[in-house]
Amino acid sequence: MTLAKLKSPHGEEKQLTLPGFEAAEADWRKDYAAQIGQNRKITNRSGIEIAPIYTPKDWSSDQHMADLGFPGQSPYTRGIYPTMHRGRTWTQRQLIGLGTPADYNERVRKILDLGASAISLLPCNSGFRGIDCDEAPLSLLGTCGTVVNTVDHMDQALDHVPLGEISTAMNDPSPFTLFAFLLGVAKRRGVPWTKITGTSNQSDYISHYVANHMFYRLSQPGSRRILVDHVAFCREHVPNWNPVSVVGQHMQQAGATPAETMGFALSTAIQYAEDCMAKGMEPDAILPRFTFFFDISISFFEEIAKFRAGRRIWARIAKDRLGAKDPRSWRFKFHGQTSGVDLTAQQPLNNIARVAVQATAGIFSGLQSMHTDAYDEAITCPTEETARIAVATQNILREEAHLCDVIDPLGGSYYIETLTNQMEEDILKVMDQIETAGGMYAAVGSGLVQTMIGQSALAAQEKIETGVEKVVGVNCYREDDDGVSQPLPYRPDADAMQAHVEAFKTFKKERSQQDVEKAIDDLRRASNNEDLNVFEKVVDAASAGVTHGEIIGTLREELGFGHPLVVA
Amino acid sequence: MQAEQLRVLVTKIGFDGHDRGSRVVAAYLRDAGMEVIYTPPWQQVGAVVSLAIQEDVDVIGISSLATDHLIIPDLMEALRAADLGHVGVVVGGIVPEIECQALRDAGVALIFGPGASREDIVSQVAKLGTDGRKTKLTSGEFAV
C-alpha cells in the first residue's frame, strides 16, 4: 500500500491511506501535461491560484470535524442553523423604491398580495444627501427611490401594510430618520414597537465613508456616536429590530476582492461591537441582532468559499474575541445581493443567466435573505417586468432545480474545502492589516482601505481591458446589434411629484412650530451630551413633525458633516 | 504653440456617490498623460462651472450612475453662460438610450456606457480636448 503525505492548510501532516493513489496521480499528471498544451495560470479574483484538480492531498475528510462539523454547530462552516434551507428558505427581499409614497404603496401592496412577508424601502437619492424634496431638483426626485421626508409620508407609503406582521428593511443611514418615521407610524396605528421587525440597512457608516459615498451624510465621529445610541435604543424599545447591518457589498462593488471584502466587513463588525461594549452593552445583548450584507459575484466557487470562511471566522470572533456566550451571538446572518458589477448593458437579456449563477452561489453559501438583480440593472432602475423575472429566478432555483434540498451541498468537495481554507487565510491577513492600522475606524481615516480598494478595482479592470477576464458581449462574443431594445427607464409622473412637493410645503407651514422648535432643541442638547441618547431624540423629533432634512441639518450643525476621504 | 498637457475635470453632480467608474477613468486619463482634476461626488452645477474656470480645463467628464444625468442640460446651459462653450463635456455611466439624444441636443459631446474600453475613452477624450483647445485659441481674446 502506498502512503501519501498530506499537508493540511492548518500545518499538520497526515498519512493518506488510499491504495493506488500515488501511481494513479502520477499517471494523470503525465497525461495532463502531455495534453494540456500551454498550462496557463488561473487565479481567482482574490488572487488565489486555482489548480486543475483537487484531491484528498489538498483536503481530506479527516479534517471534517475541525473544518466542517454540522450545521448550527461550531465551527459553523456548513450553516448557522441545524435545518438551514430545509427548515426555512431564505427571505426574498427585493429592493423597492420609486416615485411618491403613493407610487411606492401601489407597488408594495402588489408584492404583499403575491405573498411576500418582507418588504424593503429605498428612499430617493435626495434623502441620502440629507435634504428634503423642496430643496432638490424636481427632475431627480423619485427616479431611484421614494420621496419620504416625514411620518406622514411614511404613513402613506405603508398604507394598508400590516406593520406588526411584515419585516421591513430600509436603506436608512445614520441618523435613521426612516426608522424614526416608521416608529411614528406604528405609534399612530397602535402597533407596539416590540412587534416591529426588520433591519436598518445602510447603518454601516464606515462603508459609506470608504466606498459607497451615496449614503454618506454625517461626519464619522457623529455617525459613530449615533450608531451606538441607535443600538442601545433598539435593545430597549424595539428588541426585534436589527439595528446593525455591516455592509461588505459596497466595498466589493467599489472594487475590493471577495477576500478583502470579507476582511473589511468582519473588521468593521468588530469595531461596532467594541464601540457598543465600550458603552457598557453586553456582547450577548447586541450580537444576536448584528447582520451582514454582501455582494454575490459571478466568481461562483470563490463566493461560496468566501461566505463559508466568513461564517467560520465570525463565530470565532464573537466567541473568543468579543466574549459572547450565547450561540445566537455567533451566527453570521447575511443578506446577499447578486452583483450588478458583473451585469452588462450589452445584450442585457444575458444578465438573466448571470443572475441565476450568482443566486445559485448565494443559495449554496447558505444565505438568510436575497435580492436578485433585474436584467436591466446596467441600464435603469428595474421595471415591474424585469423585477418579476428576478424574483422568478429565485423561485425556479428553489422549486424546480431543488437547490434547497441538501444543506451545504458542496461541503466536503476537495476544491471547496481547500478554497474555503485558503480564503480564510487571506481574509485573516486583511484583518491583520486592519488591526495593525488601529482597527477599521482608524484604517479608513488614514485611507488605507480606500487605497486597497482602488488598486483592486484597477487590477480587475485591467484584466478586462487585456482580455484576461472575459465578459460576454463586452470584450468577446460581441454583436453590434443584439436585437434587444432597452427597457424604458422608470420616471415618476412630474405632476404627481410636483403636487407631493407642494403638499410638503403646506405641511411645514401648518404644523405646530412650537413642537418643532422644542424637538430640535432637544436634539441639539442630546448631540452635545454623551449621557443622553441622540437617536431617542430623533424619534421624538420625527413624531413632532420635524422633517428628514431638518433632523439631519440639525445634526450636521452639532456633529459635523465633512466629506468622505476619496483616494483617487 | 507648444502642445500642453490636456486638463480634464472628472466629477459627479447630483446625489449619487458611486465612484468606481470615475476613479478608474481618472487613472486611465492620467496614465495617458492628461492632467486630471478629481473631485468628491455631489458637486453642484455652479461649483463645476467655477472649477472649470479656475482649473482652465479642456474637458469635463461627468460620471452618472443613478439618473443624475437628468440635470446635465442645466450644467450645459451654465457653461455656455460662463463662455465655456469650448470645453468638451463627456458623460460616462448609465444613461438609458432613450435619454441620450436629449444630452446630445444639450451639447454633450460624448457618452460612454458600461463596457466602454479604455482605448476608446482615452483616444476620444484626447481628440475632444485638443479640438476644444483649438477652438478656444482661434476665437477672439485667446487668439495669438
Q: B38-74: per-residue pLDDT in tens?
A: 999 999 999 999 999 999 999 999 999 989 999 999 9
Residues of B in contact with A378 (CB under 8 A): 94, 114
CATH of domain B7-137: 3.40.50.280
pLDDT tier for residue B2 given thresholds of 50, 70 and 90: very low
Are the beta carbons of B15 and A129 separated by less than 8 Å? Answer: yes
- Tell me the helix, strand and coil percentages in chain B, rounded to 5: 50, 20, 35
Does domain A203-465 fall into CATH 3.40.50.720? Answer: no
Q: Give the gap in angstroms from C-alpha B102 to the nearest C-alpha of chain A.
A: 14
Residue B83 has pLDDT above 70, yes or no: yes
Give A345's contacts in chain B (Cβ within 8 Å).
94, 113-115
CB contact under 8 A, A568 and B97: no
φ, ψ dihedrals at B79, nearest 5°: -65, -45
Rounded CA separation A400/A403 (Å)? 8
* Cis-peptide into A75, omega within 30 deg: yes
Whole-angstrom distance, CA of residue A209 vs CA of residue A247: 12
Rounded alpha-carbon distances, angstroms, from residue A252 to A95, A260, A261: 19, 8, 6
CA distance A510 to chain B (A): 29
Quote the CA–CA distance of A436 and A442 in Å, as a whole number: 10
For residue A434, how many other CB atoms are within 10 A of its CB?
A: 24
Do residue A486 and residue B18 have CB atoms under 8 angstroms apart? Answer: no
Distance from CA of A411 to the nearest CA of B (A): 34
* A429: CB partners within 8 A, 6+ apart: A263
Q: Which residues of B touch A379 (CB under 8 A)?
A: 94, 96
Top pLDDT among A495 and B4 is at A495
Question: B23 and A563: CB-CB below 8 Å?
Answer: no
Comparing CB atoms, the residue among B15, B20, B40 nearest residue A564 is: B40
Nine-digit cell string for A549: 432634512
**Mutate which: A247, A566, A567, vs B, most B CBs within 10 A:** A566
Q: Cα(B112)–Cα(B103) distance, rounded to whole angstroms?
A: 12
What is the rounded CA–CA span in Å between residue A381 and residue A383? 7
CA–CA gap between residue A164 and residue A180 (Å, rounded): 16
Quote the cell numbers at residue A275. Answer: 464601540
Interface test with A, best of B13, B19, B112 (most A CBs within 10 A): B19
What's the confidence (pLDDT) of residue A13? 57
Give the mutation candidate from B20, B69, B103 for the A interface (greatest A CB count, under 10 A).
B20
- Chain B residues within an 8 Å CB radius of A215: 17
Contact B16 A125 (CB under 8 A): yes
CA–CA distance, A255 with A252 (Å, rounded to integer): 5
- pLDDT value for A160: 96
Give B115→chain A minimum CA distance, Å.
Answer: 6
A-chain residue closest to B97, CA distance: A486
- Nearest residue on chain A to B117, judged by CA atoms? A465
Q: Do the Cβ atoms of A48 and A309 come closer than 8 Å?
A: no
pLDDT reported for residue A93 = 78
What is the predicted ipTM? 0.87
Cβ atoms of B115 and B108 within 8 Å: the answer is no
On the 0-12 / 13-18 / 19+ scale of CB atoms within 10 A, A38 is exposed
Of residues A288, A269, A367, A271, the one with CA closest to residue A327: A288
A379 touches chain B (CB under 8 A): yes
Profile chain A (568 residues) by mean pLDDT over runs of 10 residues. Answer: 45 72 95 88 96 95 95 97 93 86 94 82 95 96 96 98 93 97 98 96 94 91 97 98 96 97 98 98 97 98 98 98 98 96 92 98 96 87 84 94 97 98 98 98 96 95 93 90 73 96 98 98 97 98 98 96 79
CA distance A8 to A57: 8
C-alpha cell of A106?
A: 401601489
Inter-CA distances, B143 with A136, A180, A394, B134, Å: 41, 60, 64, 9
Whole-angstrom distance, CA of residue A310 vs CA of residue A423: 9
Q: Identify which has the larger pLDDT, A323 or B115.
A: A323
* CA A276 to chain centroid: 21
CA distances from A185 to A179, A343, A547 (A): 10, 38, 14
Rounded to whole angstroms, the Cα distance separating B109 from A103 reads 35
